[in-house]
Chains A and B, each alone.
Chain A
Amino acid sequence: MATAEYTSVPSLTYRLYRPFSKVLSHIAQQKWAFLLLLLPPLLFLTLFFVVPMAMFLREGFVAVDPHSAARTLSFGNYVRFLGSPDYLKVLWNTLRLGVIVTLLCLLLGYPLAYAMARFGPRWQRWILVAVISPLMVSVVIRTFAWQVILRNRGPLNDFLIAIGIVDSPVRLLFTFTGVVIGLVHVFLPYMVLPLASVIEKIDPRLEEAARSLGANVFRRFFEVVLPLSMPGILAGSMLVFTASVSAYVVPELLGGERVQVVPTMVTQQILILLDWQFGAAIATILILLTLLVLALYRWLSRRSFQPAK
């Protein structure tokens, strides 16, 4: 062995460590060694996530006889939800919310992302700080802030009246609009960050080349920057949409009973009406919706990377 050429005696700590090291090396050479690393987290997740989720979602397929408490397999809950116009309205409301919030986040987020990528390090730094710091504050506090702001006697209404846009306070709290505002505020960073990451990678010389060829601002944007930033747009939109339709806190606190979305409905059914089975079915529908959007995203991103025909 090489270090036989060296005659020094190994240090004490090493001599104590040596037997352990030998055992470790012996184990590490086994084919099943990776299981020692994989199983603890996997078991944890299975026991405390997969199993609970499966148990809960299973409830959606169960009908409980009100008298005998007998449980039978049934699609009744789904029929009840999908067959009722009122319930479908809630679903529609939720989807509408998701789309509007996503579009607004895109509209507001794109300039931020572009500025972050193109305006230089000073702008990037400050925009990053402004975008990341809300993420570190609890959603409760952020929603509390909007509760204060959107009140009839709150700063926003005071401001609107002061500059003469309206004569009397606009009701924003406990409205769909209020919920939209709150969600846009919460999820805007999720749009900006992926988008900025993508825009940054677009070679700025492409825009310069377009300008030197005579394209004006709009043409440069729509024909160069926008198409190339599509992966970022898709990623951000997917994140914001799935988060919006799954959101609970903001709709509950800023929308109250007047704004019904699927997550608040699930909570209502389960915690107030104690209809676990129905709640579970609705939750499953929500999950399926989320997975559908995810699949759509995957399909779209694969397509947008195909070479243009």
Chain B
Amino acid sequence: MPSNMAEKILIRGVVIAILIFLIGPLVIVCGLSLSKANLIKFPPQELSLRWFADVWKLDGFVAAVVLSLKLAALTTVGTSVLGVMGSLALVRYRFAGRNILLGVFLSPLVLPAIVIGIALLQYFRTIDLLSTFSTLLIAHIAVTLPFMVRTMTASLEVMDENLFDAARMMGADALQTFIYVTMPSVRSGFIAGALFTFILSFDNYTVSLFLTDPQTETLPIRMLKFTQVRVDPTVAAAATILIGLSLLILLLSIHLVGLRRLGGLSSSKA
């Protein structure tokens, strides 16, 4: 659209400025962790990696990392299984109330996380049957399930219906069709959904806030407590490590699913 040099430079400059706004804070956190002095100051005067060694000594940090990883892994498994089952039922079968049920599955997306967290707190207090970890797991599955269902139903709907008939004619039963035809066809959508679920669970704060106890703290909860208690480069180093982890997952996702698809863009350019 810009037709001359000045317009071109202007809009490109604006875009770059906004990108700096987006990425800047993360860069600054990383920069903080590299400061030699025990100060939260950016830009750091002298560089050092000493704080990274101290990260592991942060109270409860390692335990929280392990817990969050476990939780995220189990959530991904649970949400994947339930999500695939639900999506298959919604897309492949005709029955009354299909659309309403789809709405029910997607409803957690619409409701404020804070309300969901509080409601679950009250609920699990009333039941009082489950361990904290179990309640966290259940809550995480509940809030990630809609994303998985949305992704999977979208992928299933664009599948060529004739593929199922072809598999039928070839003698494949329901399970064989699922393993050899359905899942490979929705592979990208499924992986995207699973990765997204993992990240949502690992990074989740608002809903988890109400369900954790001092013995069972997820990483984001622990990190927040760190930032409130001691604002020193160790915390920044811990944050930097987590940012690095996120970038790794991003790279993995790009490799498995494709950058465009991650951004919700159609896989073939118009």
Query: Which residues on A are within 8 Å of B, measured CB to CB?
Result: 21, 24-25, 28, 33-35, 37-38, 40-42, 44-45, 48-53, 55-57, 59, 108, 111-112, 114-115, 118-119, 123-142, 144-149, 153-155, 185, 188-189, 193-194, 196-197, 200-201, 203, 207, 211, 217, 220-221, 225, 242, 245-246, 248-249, 253, 263, 266-267, 270, 276, 279, 283, 286-287, 290-291, 294
Contacts and interface: CB of A to CB of B under 8 A. Distances in A.
Contacts of B14: 111
Given A45-B104, A188-B22, A53 B119 contact: yes
Contact of B122 (A41, A55, A291): A55
B29 A144 contact: yes
Interface string B245-270: 01101100000000110111110011
A149 B27 CA distance: 11
Contacts of B12: 115, 119
A24 B242 contact: no
Contacts, number: 260
Interface stretch (B51-59, B105-113, B183-191): B105-113
Interface residues of B, number: 89
B118 A270 contact: yes
B73 interface: no
Interface of B: 1-3, 7, 11-12, 14-15, 18-19, 21-23, 25-26, 28-29, 32, 40-43, 82-83, 85-86, 88-90, 92-93, 95, 101, 104-105, 107-108, 110-116, 118-120, 122-123, 126, 138-139, 141-142, 145, 149, 173-176, 199, 202-203, 205-206, 219-220, 223-224, 227, 231, 235-236, 239, 242-243, 246-247, 249-250, 259-260, 262-266, 269-270
Contacts of B205: 138-140, 249
B99 to A, nearest CB: 13
B89 A56 contact: no
Q: Which 5 A-B pairs have the closest CB atoms?
A: A246-B112, A145-B25, A56-B119, A52-B123, A41-B86
B114 A246 contact: yes
A285 to B, nearest CB: 11
B141 to A, nearest CB: 7
B168 to A, nearest CB: 10
Given A51-B123, A185-B21, A283 B118 contact: yes
Contacts of A189: 22
Contact of B262 (A24, A41, A127, A132): A132
Contacts of A249: 205-206
A59 B25 CA distance: 40
Given A53-B116, A112-B15, A290-B112, A25 B145 contact: no
Contact of A196 (B3, B18, B265): B265
A138 B25 CA distance: 13
Given A45-B105, A217-B3, A25 B174 contact: yes
Q: Which one of B7, B202, B246 has the greatest number of beta carbons of chain A within 10 Å? A: B246
Q: Which one of A33, A137, A153, A197 has the greatest number of beta carbons of chain B within 10 Å? A: A137
B25 A146 contact: yes
Nearest to A23: B173
B250 A136 contact: yes
Given A56-B123, A141-B243, 13 more contacts: A21-B173, A33-B93, A38-B89, A38-B101, A112-B15, A132-B250, A138-B202, A145-B239, A154-B42, A188-B18, A189-B22, A248-B206, A294-B110
Contacts of B269: 200
Given A145-B26, A149-B25, A276-B122, A220 B1 contact: yes
Contacts of A112: 15, 18-19
Contacts of A194: 264
